[in-house]
Amino acid sequence: MKKKLNKPILVAGISISFILWFYDGFSQQILEIKEWGLLSTIFLGLGFWWRQGQKETTSKPLPVTSLTEESVKDIINQGELILNTLSTEAPDYDISFFKKQLNQLSLSFDRQQLTIALAGDKKVGKTTLKDKLLSQNIFNDISFIEVESLFKEVEMPEIKADLILLLITGDLTNSHWEFLQKCNQNYQRFILVFNKKDQYIPEERVLILEQVQQKLKSMITPSDVIAISASPQSLKVREHEENGTIREWIEAQLPEIDPLSDRLKLIVELERKMLVWGSLWREAMSLKKDVKANLNNIRRDCALPIIEKYQWIAAASAFANPVAALDLLAAAAISSQLVIDLGVIYKQKLSFSQGRVLSGIIGKSIVQLGLVELSTQTISSVLKNNAITYVAGGTVQAISAAYLTRLAGLSLVEHFQDQDVDSTVVKEIDLKQFPQKIKKVFEKNKRTALVKNFIQQTLPRLSN
């Protein structure tokens, strides 16, 4: 992917930094003014983005009300759109698998067969309940699956079911609550089943049921919280006879699952379409995510050489012009062009001024996070401790400028990856999240071995 671009910002940035360096020879104070100047420019830019950002909804809460056929089709279309972009940008890439999956989804809107999953902690009665439901022979076109030890994993397993019965035998724990919230956000219909109610006295049962209904009332109606006993324990009955003898016997208890089966029958009858749409929505979202991840990998392969190119430019200009504050200025100027070049790869049509403002935000975040000092220190100590002998004046600054440029570039890649794949309108940068992205990239790249490797790659470039 070769893109032709004019580089006025880059040239301007480097020349400004040289002019300032020249002035610096005369007056140290000017340098301070320049630093303030840089910061105020960044602040102005920030203000601009902030104003622009007012319209943006940062973390859009998913609508938890009803899903429509249209909205599911919309996600499938978005997946197809990303797939088309992928095949345009990488014509040799085999997209047949994704194409087949997306087609399959479009054909599944009339699916009649449903899957109901029984989930919950260990030994809550999942198998027992499943067998009891099956033995009723009333759910012909429904398959029941059991999900093992749901809450042991750190990552919640993905359950492929149209409806989930979450079984508990007492209190609703935090992990249950988090799981149900996730279900809710993903249009995953569920019913809360309070099993083994025979283990409580009637007063306690009512209390538990009411508490759970209350806790879940923002997500489901009270009639979706159902108390049952799939296999109640037998009771020991003791009878005192008139003649003073005591008679004891064991009395088996009948299972009580009818309230649940009745509710299931009703849901299947009234909500079948909605249950299928929910599953299709989740599958389409997951496919779309996979397709996007593939596209992002391809784009990243194109982005890395560009970031490298700017790294070496930053290193060379900082090496020739070794004043710490000026290096920063040069790095900021260079990254405006980097922003625009990367934007081209990620189909983010950035105007000139948008590129400059974005690079200002990156510069500000880097300064605020203390990464200039941190990377300079790490680089100096690696140079000292690894018997790297070629340490001419400006070397540390040059490597730092290259390193910071790389951080800026990789953070931008993270940012662009989260945007729409082919946007005509560039969304404003999320000011809260962007420093987090830089931090994440820095954490990944700060290991001494990586820095050492980076230094070894940069040094030969400085001697050319």
Residue 118 or 402: which CB sits closer to ligand GTP? 118
Tell me the site size for ligand GTP, rule CB under 6 A: 16
Give the residue, chosen from 233, 353, 377, 448, that forms a contact with ligand GTP under the rule CB under 6 A: 233
Dist. CA 334–CA 308, nearest whole Å: 12
Give the residue, chosen from 161, 163, 230, 357, that forms a contact with ligand GTP under the rule CB under 6 A: 230
Choosing among ligand GTP, Mg ion, none, which partner's interface includes residue 232 (Cβ < 5 to 8 Å by kind)?
ligand GTP
CB of 231 to Mg ion, least distance (A): 12
Q: Tell me the backbone φ, ψ of residue 382, rounded to 5 degrees.
A: -65, -40
- C-alpha separations of 178 from 63, 151, 226, 316, 358 in Å: 17, 10, 20, 51, 36
132 binds ligand GTP (CB under 6 A): no
CB of 213 to ligand GTP, least distance (A): 19
Site for Mg ion in 103-132 (CB under 5 A): 126-127
Across-strand partners of 168?
A: 194
Choosing among Mg ion, ligand GTP, none, which partner's interface includes residue 199 (Cβ < 5 to 8 Å by kind)?
ligand GTP
Choosing among ligand GTP, Mg ion, none, which partner's interface includes residue 230 (Cβ < 5 to 8 Å by kind)?
ligand GTP
Ramachandran area for residue 125 (φ above 0: left; ψ -120 to 50: alpha; else beta): left
CB neighbour list of residue 109: distance below 8 Å, 6 or more residues apart:
69, 72, 276, 277, 280
Residue 15 or 199: which CB sits closer to ligand GTP? 199
Residue 77 or 261: which CB sits closer to ligand GTP? 261
Site for Mg ion in 161-200 (CB under 5 A): none
CB of 146 to ligand GTP, least distance (A): 6
Give the residue, chosen from 17, 85, 195, 311, that forms a contact with ligand GTP under the rule CB under 6 A: 195
Residue 125 or 363: which CB sits closer to Mg ion? 125
Q: Are 412 and 440 in contact (CB under 8 A)?
A: no
Site for ligand GTP in 337-376 (CB under 6 A): none
Residues 5, 7, 12, CA angle at the centre, nearest 5°? 170
297 binds Mg ion (CB under 5 A): no
Residues 362, 366, 369, CA angle at the centre, nearest 5°? 135
CB of 156 to Mg ion, least distance (A): 19
Residue 208 or 230: which CB sits closer to ligand GTP? 230
CB of 168 to ligand GTP, least distance (A): 11
Q: Are 345 and 412 in contact (CB under 8 A)?
A: no
124 binds ligand GTP (CB under 6 A): yes
Tokens of 287: 């496919």
198 binds ligand GTP (CB under 6 A): yes
Q: Supply the Cα-derived Rg of the chain in whole angstroms.
A: 31
Q: Tell me the backbone φ, ψ of residue 151, rounded to 5 degrees.
A: -105, 20
- C-alpha separations of 187 from 57, 83, 271 in Å: 21, 24, 13
Residue 80 or 198: which CB sits closer to ligand GTP? 198
- C-alpha separations of 238 from 202, 242, 250, 266 in Å: 20, 13, 9, 41
Give the residue, chosen from 122, 265, 432, 447, that forms a contact with ligand GTP under the rule CB under 6 A: 122
232 binds ligand GTP (CB under 6 A): yes
Across-strand partners of 116?
A: 144, 163
Report the interface residues with ligand GTP, using CB under 6 A: 122-128, 195-196, 198-199, 229-233
